[in-house]
Amino acid sequence: MSIVQSPEGFATADQPSVSSERWRARLRRLRPGLVLAWATVAIAVAWATLPWLFTSYSPVDGVPRQRRLPPGALHWFGTDELGRDLYARVVHGAVHTLSGALISVAVGLAVGTLIGLIAGSVERRLDDAIMRVIDVMLAVPALLLSLSVIIILGFGTVNAAIAVGVASIASFARLARSEVVRVRRMDYVEAGFGSGGRFFAVLWRHVLPNSLTAVLALAALQFGHAVLAISTLGFLGYGAPPPTPEWGLLISEGRNYISTAWWLTVFPGLVVVAVVLAANRIGQSLVRRTL
């Protein structure tokens, strides 16, 4: 029997080496669902950034004689009522939906974290007043609050994204406030104040960085909800105007032909569901790591 050298001594050729055992252990720890979620989000991001690599069809120009063709080799998702390739419209529409979701998450994260930082750092009465306003915002359904904001701002993808972001401020503020209160009780923060550190300097250098872990995990989880909310507003007609290939608008346009051209609604809907579920799966894994 042949002998091979291993880091822990000699082992026979029939026994696995230490390095191979480590690789096998890493493969066992891989979660297929999480890997699939990352792959789904990566494809959606690639659609948004490099759409011309995935389709050569125009998202707005169609061929009248190719109206409402079923899915096939030439048109993977079929064509719509104007002869436009549906797959191309879904691919090019990713940038509108995903960019809107990123804007909404950025608005909620920035404003909510700032409010939570202030509420967790000031005196008790001001903290109570701020949190009562946050409680009122949490009591209002997110969709209703988004509709109220978008009616004030006007229609469009950016305005819809801001409206969704405003609706998520309360969730970020409550979590950020709880994290700030926890971190402020730490010994190193008290030492920073006791050594003569300025109030805002200690907050910026010590409290805020150590309070962001859970808030950033919530931002990852909120991204999936933002995609769904942006698509919902687009479906209701409050998002991007036609012929913009926004995912929610694609579903809305296809519902008029659901009995004769089911693919116009099914495929954009499946894409939205897949991206939302994948983003939520990734967000949940990040949240678990912070607990």
Query: What's 84-123 look like in SS3?
Result: CEHHHHHHHHHHHHHHHHHHHHHHHHHHHHHHHHHHCCCC
Give bridge partners of residue 45 from the DSSP assignment: none
41 and 22 both lie in a single domain? no
12 and 99 both lie in a single domain? no
> For residue 61, what are the contacts with CB-CB under 8 A and spacing of at least 6?
84
Mean of per-residue pLDDT scores for the chain: 85
Give residue 181's pLDDT.
83
pLDDT at 9 over 50: no
197 and 253 both lie in a single domain? yes
Mean pLDDT in residue range 84-91: 94
Angstrom distance (rounded) from CA 169 to CA 159: 15
pLDDT at 271 over 60: yes
Give residue 6's pLDDT.
46
pLDDT at 263 over 50: yes
pLDDT at 14 over 80: no
Mean pLDDT in residue range 139-156: 89
Please report which confidence band the pLDDT of residue 208 belongs to, taking 50, 70 and 90 as the band edges: confident
19 and 90 both lie in a single domain? no
> For residue 31, what are the contacts with CB-CB under 8 A and spacing of at least 6?
285
Give residue 97's pLDDT.
93
16 and 64 both lie in a single domain? no
Cis before residue 209, ω within 30 degrees of 0? Answer: no
Mean pLDDT in residue range 51-68: 90
23 and 163 both lie in a single domain? no
Mean pLDDT in residue range 132-144: 90
185 and 74 both lie in a single domain? yes
Give residue 112's pLDDT.
93
pLDDT at 213 over 90: no
Q: β-strand 9-12 against 3-6: which pairing, if any?
A: antiparallel
40 and 7 both lie in a single domain? no
Q: How many domains does the chain have?
A: 2
Neighbour-count burial for 64-96, b at 16+ CB within 10 Å, e otherwise: eebebbebeeebebbbbbebbbbbbbbbbbbbb
Angstrom distance (rounded) from CA 268 to CA 251: 6
19 and 53 both lie in a single domain? no
Angstrom distance (rounded) from CA 235 to CA 268: 11
User: For a pLDDT cut of 70, what percent of the chain falls above it?
Assistant: 85
168 and 185 both lie in a single domain? yes
Of 56, 75, 99, residue with least CA distance to 223: 99
CATH of the domain at 106: 1.10.3720.10
26 and 67 both lie in a single domain? no
Give residue 19's pLDDT.
64
Give residue 23's pLDDT.
61
pLDDT at 230 over 80: yes
pLDDT at 119 over 90: no
pLDDT at 3 over 50: no
Give residue 21's pLDDT.
66
pLDDT per residue over 21-45, tens digit each? 666 665 556 678 888 999 999 999 9
pLDDT at 165 over 90: yes
Find the length of the chain.
291
pLDDT per residue over 167-201, tens digit each? 999 999 999 888 888 887 776 666 766 666 676 77
pLDDT at 17 over 80: no
**Measured distance between the N- and C-terminal CA atoms of the chain, rounded to whole angstroms:** 50
Domain hosting residue 231, numbered range: 34-290
User: Are 182 and 124 contacting, i.e. CB atoms less than 8 angstroms apart?
Assistant: no
Residue 197: DSSP 8-state: -
pLDDT at 70 over 60: yes
Give residue 127's pLDDT.
85
